[in-house]
Amino acid sequence: MAPPRDEEALSEVVGFVLLLGVIVLALSVYQVYAVPAQGRENEIMHMNLVKDRFTDYKIALDSLWVNNATGVTLSMAFDLGSGSATTTGSGLSIPLLSPVGSSGAVSVASGGSVLTITADSDEQEIPLGSLQYVSGNNYWVDQTWTYEMGGVFLTQTGGTTVRVSPPFSVYNTGGNASVSITPVNITGSSLLAGSGPVRIESRLRNMPPYANITGTFSAVNISIDTGDEGTARAWRRAFAAAPVREGIPTAWYEVSPESSLSSGVAWIRIDGSDHVTLLAERADYLVSIATSASLIE
């Protein structure tokens, strides 16, 4: 007669398989829900840092211009991406259970948008370079931050908005309109992409003033050709906000209609009650980008 079967070993195998299944299920749930949440939080924090750096950059360049610090090089650094878990520190890290670090690209380019200032029969065309950061996020919405003509602009899925206003104002002086504008021109050509730190170096150049567009005129027209409808819409809002915050009568000025923005051009015309006083200051910067990666970082 055959002895009864011993199933003790089989039950241990079944138990191990069930335990392994529970572990795999738990890791899968963590990877599906926790890892993206952590990655999204990291990218939101990083984009807030980029926003702060662009705001700081605008303030720093304004300080150079206000103090007429020509020839002085201003250096500012920030990280292109949020970094990955495999490169952050010497502690224990499992790449499978850690969010993938984001990346980004920063570029400086001459030209681009063109600002045109027309004062009666005198006209001045000024090419406006820009400094731009484009994110490469994996878990959150991508953003593009642009420093152009002294303003900071944010572009994402919903369009383009002004985060820091450009140096443009319209105000009342003795019953007539006065206009002050500082066309900030950036010269340079550089592009760096990745996730490491970069260094942006800027120098205020000594350039002759715009003599023919400073004085008293019957009317002043300021237009900017961006080549993009979304950016032109943001500039229209910047133009329209300037006289409103100073309480300028609507009869003194006119801004480009919404229907004309498809051409990528936004403009404002200022007539005042009798004449317009225009002050156009010059600010030209030479900008370069360099990597600042090192063994220490």
SS3 250: helix
Lowest mean pLDDT: which of 27-36, 54-63, 126-135, 228-237?
27-36
Q: Are 291 and 192 in contact (CB under 8 A)?
A: yes
Task: Name the token pair of 177.
Answer: 């309109």
pLDDT band at 95 (very low <50, low <70, confident <90, very high): low
What tokens were used for 162? 């002004």
Q: For 137-180, how does the pLDDT look when each residue is reduced to its tens digit (9 = 90+)?
A: 999 999 999 999 999 999 998 889 999 999 999 999 988 899 99
Q: Which runs of consecutive H residues, i.e. helices, occur in the chain?
A: 8-29, 35-66, 229-245
Mean per-residue pLDDT over the chain, rounded: 86
Residue entry with tokens 């990745």:
194
Tell me: the pLDDT tens digits for 241-270?
999 999 999 999 999 999 899 999 999 999
Predicted TM-score (pTM) of the model is 0.84
